[in-house]
Structure 1
């Protein structure tokens, strides 16, 4: 696992020990950023169910100004912090150990807005629709913002959410992985 492009290109990233997290492969990460970027001129990113922090770190490396990482698993939080240090991105990142539902509510109260929101929940405990509805409710997505969801390919997500979000891309990878990208509608 490594940073694929941008200012931190080629830097290796540590993965979380054990079987409780499933890191996004370099191939899937590269495809995601080819679909949404590949480079950015600022903005904020939110990396939910962060695991090792690979998606948020990749966004920072490619030009996102600031990223917030959320995970509730202690070893994941330690790994994210180590990876941010390895890439020398401490001044542009915040890491919180919290439940995603609670974190979305807190960010809503703070009126936070994000250009990119990454979601890579554990396949066994996916509550993707509920999380996306919470993102919409709390108005966390900027105009033209995107939600990027990595999910099991057997999970069937809606094509749109109440005219607020529409799925603009969907890609399935060999194995069990699919990526759905939603964009905020004006």
Structure 2
């Protein structure tokens, strides 16, 4: 696992051994960022269910100014911190060891954050977690020009829209599906 492109291109990243997390492969990560970026001119990202932090670090490497990582597994949380330090992004991140539901409740109360990119990769068997996308949108925490990326199992069907955010692209990579949501003009989207 590595950073695929940008300022830290090629930087190897540590992954959590075992089956507690499911790191996004470099191939899928590259495809995700080709769909949502591929590069950014500043902005704030949220890497919810961060795992080893690979998606949020990729966003930083590609120009996102600040990333908030949320990961509840203590071992994975430690690896996110290691990977952030290795990539020298300590001053551009906030890392929380917290349950995603509680983290989102705390984030919606903050007046200092609106996300330009939401990277959403929950455990595949926890379908209810996708409701957190709606919570962020309903509280105005995703910029209207922003993008939401949901990674999910191919046997999970996500809604065509979350509020004004419509699924504009859906790609399948084996058992993994990536769904991209943006605010669209009438007639755009899937």
**TM-score where L is the length of structure 2:** 0.93
Other structure's SS at 1:124 match: coil
**Does the CA contact (< 8 Å) of 1:171 and 1:180 recur in 2?**
yes
Which residue is 1:136 aligned to? 137
CA distance in 2, matches of 1:127, 1:12: 32
Within a 5 Å distance, the mapping from 1:32-111 to structure 2 comes to: 32-111=32-111
Which residue is 1:154 aligned to? 155
Gaps of at least 5 residues in structure 1 are none
**Does the CA contact (< 8 Å) of 2:127 and 2:156 recur in 1?**
no
Q: CA deviation at 1:185?
A: 5.0
Other structure's SS at 1:117 match: strand
Task: Work out whether 1:126 is the aligned partner of 2:133.
Answer: no
Distance of aligned partners of 1:168 and 1:128 in 2 relative to their CA distance in 1, 3 Å threshold: farther
CA distance in 2, matches of 1:31, 1:11: 18
Cα root mean square deviation, aligned: 1.2
CA distance in 2, matches of 1:161, 1:108: 17
Q: CA deviation at 1:152?
A: 0.2
**Does the CA contact (< 8 Å) of 1:47 and 1:68 recur in 2?**
yes
**TM-score where L is the length of structure 1:** 0.95
Task: Work out whether 1:182 is the aligned partner of 2:171.
Answer: no
CA distance in 2, matches of 1:182, 1:29: 16
**Does the CA contact (< 8 Å) of 1:73 and 1:97 recur in 2?**
yes
Deviations 1:17-75 (A, max 9, x none): 22110000000000000111111100000000000000000000000000000011101
Which residue is 2:26 aligned to? 26
Other structure's SS at 1:101 match: helix
CA distance in 2, matches of 1:129, 1:114: 17
Within a 5 Å distance, the mapping from 1:165-176 to structure 2 comes to: 165-174=165-174, 176=175
Other structure's SS at 1:13 match: coil
Gaps of at least 5 residues in structure 2 are 186-190
CA distance in 2, matches of 1:43, 1:184: 17
**Does the CA contact (< 8 Å) of 2:23 and 2:51 recur in 1?**
yes
Q: Which one is further off, 123-132 or 43-52?
A: 123-132
**Does the CA contact (< 8 Å) of 1:144 and 1:185 recur in 2?**
no
4+ residue segments displaced more than 3 Å: none
